Amino acid sequence: MKPPHVFQTAERRLLNVGVTASDNPAWKINKEYKYSVTGRTLTALHQVSNQYAGILIKASLSLRLKSPNSLIAK
């Protein structure tokens, strides 16, 4: 199980993406938009070993534009 702060950081990143994109006039008020979000970060120390460590994030993101200045994200 990942530490709670890892999930909180991922949730903040997803929310930031949603808030930034809410300025897009193509979104309609009260319409729900669903997204499948994935991300991966890897690191390696090739001098020591040919192994990798990292994190994989998979999430379902639901967005609804409540008003031009308000976004609901789940």
pLDDT-based confidence at 68, cuts 50/70/90?
A: confident
Name residue, tokens 């031009």: 68
Q: Are 30 and 64 in contact (CB under 8 A)?
A: yes
Task: Dump pLDDT digits (tens) for 14-63.
Answer: 555 555 554 556 788 899 999 999 999 989 887 888 888 899 999 999 99
Q: Give the global pTM.
A: 0.51
Beta bridge partners of 41: 55
Of 25 and 5, the structure prediction assigns the larger pLDDT to 25
Residue 2 pLDDT: 46
